[in-house]
Structure 1
Amino acid sequence: MVEFDVVDLPTTDHPTVGDEAPDFTRPLVNEEYWADASLSELAADGPVALVFYTMDGAFPATYMWNEIRDREWGDRVEVVGVSVSTPYAHSRLIEERGMDYRLFSDPTAELADTYGVAHELDGMTGVTEHRPAVFLIDEDRTVQYAWVAGEWPEFPDYDEVEAAVAEL
């Protein structure tokens, strides 16, 4: 059994329900290639579940993506992920997990800062990753649901997210 300490994370100033989700353009990766895409382009086609997660390969990322895949969120909403991992790492994760989701690459964690979900790793000066978070964003880029981890590790209430998706 893997042992780890649960760590309380500081409060964040992240977008909440009713806020306009900040727009951005980043490399969006699928299993074959990547190209720059913006959140506004994705949202124009319908609601988006924007999922921030730790770097590819970390156990929280694997657990989250397996759960999202198994619950088939992509059948009801456009699901896209965001992490500090490179497009190459994203391509491997998509292939290994059999994911039908695309992933934004944010290696500088600028989006994590913008969305208030940056997490400085303990004992690693200057190393930042994304804390787990889920934002449901409608066609106008209005946040309809927001969850951000308050401790490490923590995962979203998947049933709660699904209920919010059903209300979109």
Structure 2
Amino acid sequence: MPDFDVVELGPTDHPEAGDEAPDFTRPLVNDEFWEDRSLSELTDEGRVILIFTPMIASYAAKYVWDELTERGWNEGDARIVGVSASTPYAHSSVIADNDYPFELFADPANGVAERYGIAHDLDGMAGVSEPRTAFFAIDSDGVVEASWVATEWPEFPEYDDLEEQLDLV
């Protein structure tokens, strides 16, 4: 039995297949530096899998990024990019400490998750929110092809099914 409570997160208003993905500009962090980039700049270069996780140093975020690293998601034709409500400094540290081959958008105010309809308030912390775990496949025109969004915390997808749904296999 887990030593934490599973929390129902309630309904979302997230983009579905066929919807235009909300564009945004935030610091994009990699293993060497960060710079402000927009989602549309990335999709102009090709297909993007946009992955929202809770705070980047949380066990839930680490579980997701460890799984994707082990599965070799960085070796496919889609660009894998994360978003969390953490600072560029925190992202940089986690990327370096774990040797993650991915880029992460820093969104400390959680505005991107709000635009995607997947922000949730943290229990007992007034004014503090983070994204729920979510995956969006976005084509080079900025249109959502597929999505998976957690309905409870903690929740993780069935990765084999997710790879098929996001057309990564």
The secondary structure found in structure 2 opposite 1:35 is strand
Separation in structure 2 between the aligned mates of residue 128 and residue 21 of structure 1, nearest angstrom: 21
Distance in 2 (CA, whole Å) between partners of 1:62 and 1:141 is: 27
Residue 2 of structure 1, CA deviation: 5.8
Shift of 1:75: 1.3
Alpha-carbon shift at residue 55 of structure 1 (Å): 0.5
Task: Answer yes or no: is the 8 Å Cα contact 2:27–2:35 preserved in 1.
Answer: yes
Q: Deviations over 1:92-129 (max 9, x none)?
A: 11011111111001011110100011010011110111
Q: Deviations over 1:133-158 (max 9, x none)?
A: 00000001111111111001001221
Q: CA–CA distance in 2 between the matches of 1:50 and 1:156?
A: 15
Q: What is the correspondence of 1:115-130 to structure 2 with a 5 Å cutoff?
A: 115-130=116-131
Listed one character per residue, the Cα deviations across residues 43-87 of structure 1 (whole Å, up to 9, x for unaligned) are 111110100001121110010000011111111110000001100
Work out the CA distance in 1 between the residues paired with 2:62 and 2:158. 16
Provide the rounded CA distance (Å) in 2 between the counterparts of 1:17 and 1:148. Answer: 12
**Structure 1: which 5+ runs fail to align?**
none
- Cα offset, 1:33, TM superposition: 0.9
CA distance in 1 between partners of 2:167 and 2:11 (Å): 28
Give the AA of the match of 2:69.
Answer: R
Q: Describe the SS at the equivalent of 2:145.
A: strand
Separation of aligned partners in 1, 2:126 and 2:102 = 32
TM-score (norm 1): 0.95
In structure 2, stretches of 5+ residues that fail to align are none
2:155 is the counterpart of 1:166: no
- SS in structure 2 of the partner of residue 50 of structure 1: strand
* Aligned-partner SS, 1:125: coil
The aligned counterpart of 2:49 is 49
Q: Which amino acid aligns with 1:63?
A: Y
Residue of structure 1 equivalent to 2:142: 141
| 1:42 alignment partner, SS class | helix
Matched residues, percent identical? 53
How many aligned residue pairs are there? 168
Q: CA deviation at 1:31?
A: 1.2
Are residue 99 (structure 1) and residue 100 (structure 2) matched? Answer: yes
Residue equivalent to 1:69:
69
After TM superposition, give the deviation of residue 160 of structure 1 in Å: 2.0
Q: Aligned to 1:99, what secondary structure does the other structure show?
A: coil
CA-atom RMSD in angstroms: 1.4
Q: Please state whether the residue corresponding to 1:26 is helix, strand or coil.
A: strand
TM-score when normalising by structure 2: 0.95
